[in-house]
Protein backbone atom coordinates (compact mmCIF):
# COMPACT_ATOMS: atom_id res chain seq x y z
CA UNK A 1 0.00 0.00 0.00
CA UNK A 2 1.09 3.55 -0.53
CA UNK A 3 2.67 5.49 2.31
CA UNK A 4 0.11 8.30 1.93
CA UNK A 5 -2.71 5.89 2.87
CA UNK A 6 -0.93 4.98 6.11
CA UNK A 7 -0.26 8.66 6.82
CA UNK A 8 -3.91 9.50 6.19
CA UNK A 9 -4.96 6.68 8.50
CA UNK A 10 -2.67 7.98 11.26
CA UNK A 11 -4.01 11.51 10.86
CA UNK A 12 -7.63 10.37 10.86
CA UNK A 13 -7.06 8.19 13.91
CA UNK A 14 -5.49 11.12 15.79
CA UNK A 15 -8.36 13.36 14.70
CA UNK A 16 -10.88 10.76 15.87
CA UNK A 17 -9.35 10.83 19.35
CA UNK A 18 -9.44 14.62 19.60
CA UNK A 19 -12.28 15.98 17.49
CA UNK A 20 -14.17 13.03 16.12
CA UNK A 21 -14.64 12.16 12.46
CA UNK A 22 -17.29 12.74 9.85
CA UNK A 23 -19.17 9.72 8.49
CA UNK A 24 -17.14 9.22 5.29
CA UNK A 25 -13.79 9.62 7.07
CA UNK A 26 -14.85 7.24 9.85
CA UNK A 27 -15.97 4.64 7.27
CA UNK A 28 -12.69 5.01 5.34
CA UNK A 29 -10.62 4.61 8.54
CA UNK A 30 -12.53 1.51 9.67
CA UNK A 31 -12.17 -0.06 6.22
CA UNK A 32 -8.42 0.72 6.14
CA UNK A 33 -7.89 -0.72 9.63
CA UNK A 34 -9.63 -3.97 8.61
CA UNK A 35 -7.39 -4.27 5.53
CA UNK A 36 -4.06 -3.05 6.98
CA UNK A 37 -2.58 -5.11 9.83
CA UNK A 38 0.22 -2.59 10.53
CA UNK A 39 -2.15 0.34 11.01
CA UNK A 40 -4.56 -1.80 12.98
CA UNK A 41 -1.76 -2.90 15.34
CA UNK A 42 -0.54 0.69 15.71
CA UNK A 43 -4.00 2.05 16.56
CA UNK A 44 -4.61 -0.79 19.04
CA UNK A 45 -1.28 -0.05 20.73
CA UNK A 46 -2.11 3.64 20.88
CA UNK A 47 -5.53 2.93 22.42
CA UNK A 48 -3.94 0.65 25.02
CA UNK A 49 -1.35 3.29 25.85
CA UNK A 50 -3.99 6.01 26.22
CA UNK A 51 -6.08 3.71 28.40
CA UNK A 52 -3.06 3.04 30.61
CA UNK A 53 -2.30 6.76 30.88
CA UNK A 54 -5.89 7.53 31.84
CA UNK A 55 -5.74 4.99 34.63
CA UNK A 56 -2.69 6.64 36.25
CA UNK A 57 -3.87 8.57 39.30
CA UNK A 58 -2.91 12.24 39.34
CA UNK A 59 -2.77 13.98 42.67
CA UNK A 60 -3.67 17.66 42.60
CA UNK A 61 -3.95 19.97 45.57
CA UNK A 62 -7.48 20.14 46.92
CA UNK A 63 -7.47 23.92 46.75
CA UNK A 64 -6.30 24.10 43.13
CA UNK A 65 -9.70 25.18 41.79
CA UNK A 66 -10.08 27.84 44.48
CA UNK A 67 -6.59 29.22 43.83
CA UNK A 68 -7.23 29.28 40.10
CA UNK A 69 -10.53 31.12 40.57
CA UNK A 70 -8.82 33.61 42.86
CA UNK A 71 -6.11 34.29 40.27
CA UNK A 72 -8.71 34.73 37.51
CA UNK A 73 -10.65 37.20 39.67
CA UNK A 74 -7.47 39.07 40.54
CA UNK A 75 -6.51 39.32 36.87
CA UNK A 76 -10.02 40.53 35.98
CA UNK A 77 -9.77 43.22 38.68
CA UNK A 78 -6.37 44.29 37.36
CA UNK A 79 -7.78 44.50 33.84
CA UNK A 80 -10.73 46.60 35.02
CA UNK A 81 -8.47 48.89 37.01
CA UNK A 82 -6.18 49.41 34.04
CA UNK A 83 -9.17 50.11 31.78
CA UNK A 84 -10.64 52.54 34.36
CA UNK A 85 -7.23 54.16 34.66
CA UNK A 86 -7.07 54.43 30.90
CA UNK A 87 -10.44 56.21 30.73
CA UNK A 88 -9.38 58.52 33.53
CA UNK A 89 -6.12 59.23 31.71
CA UNK A 90 -8.07 60.17 28.54
CA UNK A 91 -10.37 62.48 30.52
CA UNK A 92 -7.44 64.18 32.20
CA UNK A 93 -5.63 64.48 28.88
CA UNK A 94 -8.68 66.08 27.23
CA UNK A 95 -9.14 68.52 30.10
CA UNK A 96 -5.44 69.39 29.98
CA UNK A 97 -5.59 69.99 26.24
CA UNK A 98 -8.68 72.18 26.61
CA UNK A 99 -7.10 74.23 29.40
CA UNK A 100 -3.94 74.55 27.32
CA UNK A 101 -5.84 75.95 24.34
CA UNK A 102 -7.81 78.38 26.50
CA UNK A 103 -4.79 79.59 28.48
CA UNK A 104 -2.25 79.76 25.62
CA UNK A 105 -2.77 83.49 24.88
CA UNK A 106 -2.35 84.37 28.56
CA UNK A 107 0.76 82.23 28.89
CA UNK A 108 2.23 83.80 25.75
CA UNK A 109 1.67 87.28 27.21
CA UNK A 110 3.34 86.15 30.42
CA UNK A 111 6.38 84.86 28.50
CA UNK A 112 6.52 88.07 26.42
CA UNK A 113 6.41 90.17 29.58
CA UNK A 114 9.09 88.01 31.30
CA UNK A 115 11.25 88.14 28.15
CA UNK A 116 10.97 91.92 27.96
CA UNK A 117 11.62 92.28 31.68
CA UNK A 118 14.67 89.97 31.54
CA UNK A 119 15.76 91.37 28.17
CA UNK A 120 15.68 87.92 26.49
CA UNK A 121 15.79 87.54 22.71
CA UNK A 122 12.53 86.54 21.00
CA UNK A 123 13.78 83.03 19.97
CA UNK A 124 14.54 82.24 23.62
CA UNK A 125 11.02 83.31 24.58
CA UNK A 126 9.54 81.12 21.84
CA UNK A 127 11.61 78.07 22.88
CA UNK A 128 10.59 78.59 26.51
CA UNK A 129 6.92 78.82 25.44
CA UNK A 130 7.19 75.56 23.44
CA UNK A 131 8.95 73.79 26.32
CA UNK A 132 6.23 75.03 28.68
CA UNK A 133 3.70 72.98 26.67
CA UNK A 134 5.82 69.95 25.73
CA UNK A 135 7.67 69.01 28.90
CA UNK A 136 4.62 68.09 31.07
CA UNK A 137 3.13 65.69 28.46
CA UNK A 138 6.54 64.06 27.99
CA UNK A 139 6.85 63.57 31.75
CA UNK A 140 3.31 62.10 31.84
CA UNK A 141 4.16 59.67 29.03
CA UNK A 142 7.30 58.66 30.91
CA UNK A 143 5.30 58.00 34.08
CA UNK A 144 2.71 55.91 32.20
CA UNK A 145 5.43 53.87 30.46
CA UNK A 146 7.24 53.36 33.77
CA UNK A 147 4.01 52.13 35.43
CA UNK A 148 3.32 49.75 32.54
CA UNK A 149 6.83 48.36 32.77
CA UNK A 150 6.50 47.90 36.53
CA UNK A 151 3.09 46.22 36.18
CA UNK A 152 4.23 43.87 33.43
CA UNK A 153 7.36 42.97 35.40
CA UNK A 154 5.15 42.09 38.38
CA UNK A 155 2.70 40.12 36.20
CA UNK A 156 5.57 38.38 34.40
CA UNK A 157 4.41 39.27 30.90
CA UNK A 158 6.11 41.21 28.10
CA UNK A 159 5.72 45.00 28.03
CA UNK A 160 4.41 45.24 24.45
- For the chain, give every domain's residue range: 3-55, 69-155
Whether 149 contacts 141, CB under 8 Å: no
Q: Is the pTM of this model over 0.75?
A: no
Mind listing the pLDDT tens digit of every residue in the chain (160 residues)? 467 888 888 888 888 888 888 888 888 988 988 998 888 898 898 888 888 888 888 887 888 888 888 888 888 877 776 666 667 777 877 888 888 888 888 988 988 899 899 998 999 888 888 888 888 888 888 887 887 777 776 655 555 5
pLDDT in tens, 47-93: 888 888 888 888 878 888 888 888 888 888 777 766 666 677 778 77
pLDDT at 156: 58
CA gap 76, 46 in Å, rounded = 41
Render 6-35 in DSSP notation, one character per residue. HHHHHHHHHHHHHT---HHHHHHHHHHHHH
Length reported for the chain: 160
Amino acid sequence: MSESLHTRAQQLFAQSLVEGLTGPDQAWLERHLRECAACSTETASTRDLLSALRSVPVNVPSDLAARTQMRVRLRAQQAMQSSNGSVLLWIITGASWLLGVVSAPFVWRLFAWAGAYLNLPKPVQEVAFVLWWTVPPLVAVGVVLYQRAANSRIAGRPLF
